Structure 1
Amino acid sequence: MRSAPVGGGCSSGRGGGGGTVVERRIWCTFFGLVLWIATFVRLLRDLFGYVDDVFSWELADKLETYEPYGEVYPAKQVALLKLWDEVGIPHEKHKQLWGFRLEIIGFDVDTRTMTITMAVTARDEFVRALLTFAVAGQHRKLKEFQQLAGWANWAFNVYPLLRPGLCEVYQKMRGKAKPDAPIWVNKTVEQQLKWIAGHVRASDGIVMLDSVEWGLADADITLYTDASFAGMGVWVPDMHLGLQCVAKDAKEKGIFFYEALSVLSALEHILTHHGRAFTRVAILCDNSNTVDMFHSLRAQPKYNGILTSATDLLLAHKAQLRVIHIPGVQNIVADALSRFDNAAAVAADPDLTILPFIPPRLTLGAIQL
């Protein structure tokens, strides 16, 4: 019996997926109900559906025979096939795949190496599409914007940090409904799409699943940040280090901008100023909007440069970031530093050394190709 928590993958394909828009919507509604029954009535956990394909995982030693096909499959896959028979959903033997390595929605998923990989040909095709689109001064139809956004979101399964590169694309589509409506490709769209293309081209197209999920206890270094109308503060408790900077035009730019900029500044400082590699960086912040922005990697255009700059840092240093919310009462030192109340900061951390810092320059969303 294998002790590995994930022994193999399984993918059950029904076939089809064509038809009119209305027919596809009806199918998705119906199949969503079938998956609900599978999950909450038959208790088949961790089922993932994509149009008419279902994929999941199963322990390697849990195999059963599916009599109609006379073949052995993972137990969860057999249970799902029996449910389809009961409901009357047709399926085909050659589409019932399983093993340690499978192609799922165009990605190579390997449970032994715990990796998801995009093929080189797929990466090259995606990059070509981005660069063809990223030409300022041309008009593109709304449906072309939507197609490119859909393609990019598929690619973000492997390149999740590149989500900020669609910020201006979404802005251009906002409020528009006519598929053939012309939309102007501006300089910002060009820069952001080239930013995505540059990072995809520089990547090996592999995401390591064992490094995706981690918590505060797993962090290599933990920092605290805060901002006020007076300035920004960063506290690195393990180093007894405090950083502070004046917030220029804070009332004009808004406190949220400086809350987010303080997180970026903390990240930039810890990755570039200490001569040590920190793979997992945790930053604690008492502003929930900032936490949400870094978690979703989506922001309004005026804040998006903070996200692209953070992504550039993380990819350049092969680091990961978690921005975690804490109550304001637990953020005493960073709060005091942001208000330049250094006496209060030192009272909380008597060994504290306080230094000024300059925020990093925001990237424009484009890198050299």
Structure 2
Amino acid sequence: MRQKIGANADSMKQLNRSTVLHAIQRHKPISKAEIVPITNLTFATVSNIIQELMEAEWIVEAGYGRSSGGRKPILYELSAKKYYAISVDIAVASTTVALVNLYGEVIHKVSTEHEKNENGTCKVELPTIYGLIDLVLEYAEQRKAEVIGIGVSSPGPLNAEKGMILSPPNLTGLDGVAIRDLLQEKYGLMTRLEKDADAAALGEYWFADRKPNMLYVFADRGTGGGILFNGTIYRGFLNGAGELGHATVDIHGPVCRCGNVGCLEMVASGLALERKYNPKSMADLLQASRNGDKEIQEEMDDISSYLATGITNAVNLLNPAEVILGGALVDGYPPMASKIREIVTERCFTRENGVPDISESVFGINGPLIGGTAVIIQQVFEHPEQIMNREK
């Protein structure tokens, strides 16, 4: 019985630490007295946890708040100078690895373009990823930065629970690779794998103060979606939730690389754009649209309409509080967000009562990269004893 009581006490202490860390991250800078009503913990409990977090250098003092009659209260925020995460963004065309602090700020990054296959897909290999991580770890060591984990974002499908990339339709070289375990074993760091759009959604929630029930739309070379429910990634059965790009929009359309027919990604993605205007690249075509090329602008407007149709269907099904638009197409064609917002507002089933907030990602094309850090931070904040025990 004593062991059970002790275990319960340890679990409660872990939960309380996590609750305080969340409060500091979301409301920084914040005083002990302000943390109390947010967490429903006693002032004594909050004070003890603050002391522990200060000793472990997870938080730092951030000046003084306003006085309510006595001494000015000390404010606290997360440390931005000791703990960092390494984020690995495996995109279709390139891989980027970055050292990112607890505020989602990129301190240093390196990247490489992928080799292009004859069929238009791209290829990446593990040694390439290892080399990029080695470079970032070397930089972190020079700065005396303590890396708490590696967060990997990748196109789906994948199995986040097993840490395995399955068979991305537009990317080869990592099919069936258990990348989480391979990286964890090689570098001795906690490693997590998430789908790119899921990671990006989590990054928006953690670092841009977004709503906890959200649909993130990733409009890039491929088209994807990420769903948050109560601040947690919703993966669905067999980790398949959020594949917006592989929803059918044309039952007589072309066969997609995923095996489905008439997928949204076949008509509304950077890959679709490149197929139509081969051999021009997505970047060149987006630049042409910004330079006033009417034909490309009309094509981008069509893509916007298709995306809006897919988003409307998702909004009617999920009823999220917020829709975030990210990726290279949104970033590279400024009118896209407003066109999508207009169409969804007109067609959404709940339009009489209101529609979700629809806005652009604050991180642009770096959404999945920042999201990789959010994946690690959420894991650590939910299990702070891992770091606390390591410090001892």
TM-score, scaled to structure 2: 0.29
TM-score, scaled to structure 1: 0.31
> Which protein is bigger by CA-based radius of gyration?
1
